[in-house]
Amino acid sequence: MQTALPLCALAVPPMAKASDTQTLTGQEISGLREAVQRCWMPPQLQAGTSAEVKVRFRLTPSGELDGTPQVVEAADGVDGQLLAQSTIRAVQRCAPYSLPQAKYEAWREIVINFVHQ
């Protein structure tokens, strides 16, 4: 029997991609995704349940959170609420983020999808 592991995927909003010189590389995106995933402690969901949450957050030029992360989309019910809370904690726990200052326009707003299967 295989166990599906929780995943998180990073999406950089299209509006943040000002120019090719401002776009984050695949390696930079992977590094950010892996950092957040290390800070994420997924909740126990009901057996056989999968849930997805999309969280948006803004960063200051120094990589600190600029405000509270916002849940953009979440699964319904208790599982969705638990997953949403755990994702916000992960984003907060990982701050500050180490990203290239020269590309601040590309990473000042970030959206991460968290999938728990």
Q: Average pLDDT for consecutive 10-residue bins of the chain (117 residues)?
A: 44 48 84 90 80 92 97 90 93 95 92 85
Number of domains in the chain: 1
| Per-residue model confidence (pLDDT) at position 73 | 93
Specify the CATH number for the domain of residue 98.
3.30.1150.10
For residues 33 and 30, what is the distance between their CA atoms, to the nearest angstrom? 5
pTM of the model: 0.80
| Per-residue model confidence (pLDDT) at position 14 | 47
| Per-residue model confidence (pLDDT) at position 50 | 78
Residue 66 lies in a domain: yes
Residue 95 lies in a domain: yes
For residues 45 and 85, what is the distance between their CA atoms, to the nearest angstrom? 13
| Per-residue model confidence (pLDDT) at position 5 | 39
